[in-house]
Amino acid sequence: MPRPPADAVLLASDPDLMRAVVGGDGLDARAAMQAIVTWASSGSRREDLLRRSRFPLEGDMLAFLVVNQLAYRGATRPTELADAVDTGRSNLSKVVRRLEVAGLVGRMTNPVDGRETMIALTPDGRSVAERIVAASEDDFAGALAEWSDAERERFEDLIIRLVRDLDRRVGGDIQRVAGVPWQESATRWHPHPIS
């Protein structure tokens, strides 16, 4: 049965109602984090990265997101990949097929559980993924260009600490959803401009 139309709720132009709940008094850490996450996951940002990375399946945003996830995860189970790109398993199968036809991904048996299939980048897919990462890092390289090495290292240490501490707080959900292992990295992140 269709729902009856709801009457509009009219509000007065009250400044308290118009102000944001978080960050309404200016940029603080919470508002800054939300701004970066919203920007990074926005359609306009994704379209820009798709274009700048010269993604071979023009306009195929879901395929782009799959390759981007594989760039950070490595070989991944289809269920985890579907969750990461917010689609169903059957739709993911269609996307994977398009990427296979383009020569960007392939399937392999999970070495831990021989009954499972994993999706991985081909050598050509890795090249495309490297272009996506480089296009994204180009923006950060410009933003961090005037930071000292010590500031960049301190920022990296703190963001890693935040992710680890938050992940412990939420029972491992960040690591599970992101699919990125938490082992210590031997190198520091130094964003470089796209070539």
Instruction: Spell out the domains of the chain, with CATH numbers in brackets.
Output: 27-178 (1.10.10.10)
Whether 195 shows a pLDDT value over 50: the answer reads no
% pLDDT > 70, the chain: 89
Q: For residue 130, what pLDDT is reported?
A: 96
Say which amino acid occupies 142: G
71: confidence class by pLDDT, cuts 50, 70, 90 = very high
101: confidence class by pLDDT, cuts 50, 70, 90 = very high
Mean pLDDT of the chain: 87
Higher pLDDT, 57 or 180: 57
What is the pTM for the complete model shown?
Answer: 0.80
158 φψ region: left (φ > 0), alpha (ψ -120 to 50), beta (else): alpha
Q: For residue 194, what pLDDT is reported?
A: 40
Say which amino acid occupies 178: A
160 φψ region: left (φ > 0), alpha (ψ -120 to 50), beta (else): alpha
